[in-house]
Amino acid sequence: MEKCTKRNRDKQILNVSMSKINFESDVQQKPYSCEVSIPKKIRKQQTYSCEVCGYSCTLKCNMLQHQRTHTGEKPYSCEVCGYSFTLKSNLLRHRLTHIGEKPYSCEVCGLSFSDKTNLVRHLRIHTAGKTYSCGKCDSSFLNKKNLVEHMQTHKGEKPYSCEICGSSFSKKSNLAQHRRTHTGEKPYSCEVCGSSFSHKINLVRHLRTHTGEKPYSCEVCDSSFAEQTTLIRHMRSHTGEKPYSCEVCGSSFASKSNLVQHVRTHTGEKPHVCEICESSFSHKINLVRHLRTHTGEKPYSCDVCGSSFAQKSCLIRHIRKHKKIPQ
């Protein structure tokens, strides 16, 4: 609502003005001001819709930015390294990586970041304040919406279904992520190297390969890791825990990947195939080593004499000759 601001020299004229809008009120003396509220004309809000995925918004600039996720257009380029970005703000943040400026500092541990979003993610390590708790398990959440979605996992409810394959999910966000397995969409892009990801968490993990950030620390030996799952696996080296057991022979392992590799000794499965000679291997690392027999690559070099080797074990044996250590 807006107010009429007409002012009149004569009270009689003001009264006539007020009578035109059928309003009676006491009026202040000298000067006489009209204080009638007049309804403001409501503008109809325009909506912009994406013809590709149906996303809608009320601002044209937001729609233009969104459409670049489909077209791949990156109009903002770094003059130093040539990397391109869909948003100007992303380019400005990227420039900080060249000048080494890290204006965002953690008040708890002192770590600095060039990007405010990285600082916000980091702060979650220190501030675990989750106010909404589940009454059926020990899970807790930052907002009520996430708690409501979590409760559906206890009830077994999966109200969100994929229209392509029929898979059902308890969370709307999980359905959105699942759809990308059909569309191949990767909306989360790395500002440093341009790699794209279908899940935001994968981008967050990838960024640590550039920043060197290792927020998860071992309380026993002070080793630090970029991912929490890696820390959990590392802790088993201290506790001796081996939660993954082979159903055939009973052997136990600290990680699931080691169990998967072990099971192949029973099944004879060799999923890793050489494209050159069609030799197959049960472990990927064995295929990598084998490929060097074709490429001639020798990545392991002796610091003493410069000799190169295809296998690390060969380099270790060679170094013993220099040190004159008995084998």
Residue-by-residue DSSP string for 241-302: ---EE-TTT--EESSHHHHHHHHHHHH----EE-TTT--EESSHHHHHHHHHHHH----EE-
Position 267 pLDDT exceeds 90: yes
Please tell me the predicted confidence (pLDDT) of residue 25. 44
**Is 26's pLDDT higher than 60?**
no
Q: What is the mean pLDDT of residues 228-234?
A: 87
Q: What is the pLDDT of residue 137?
A: 82
Q: Counting Cβ atoms within 10 Å, is residue 281 exposed (0-12), middle (13-18) or buried (19+)?
A: middle
Least confident stretch, 116-125, 158-167, 241-250, 264-273: 116-125
Question: Mind listing the domains of the chain with CATH numbers?
Answer: 2-38 (no CATH), 242-289 (3.30.160.60), 297-327 (3.30.160.60)
- Give me the chain's average pLDDT, please: 79
pLDDT at 200 over 80: yes
Residue 13 has pLDDT above 50, yes or no: no
Predicted pLDDT of residue 23: 40
Place of tokens 């008040």: 107
> Is pLDDT larger for residue 175 or for residue 95?
175
- Cβ atoms of 31 and 5 within 8 Å: the answer is no
pLDDT digits (tens, 9 = 90+) for 75-86: 888 888 777 888
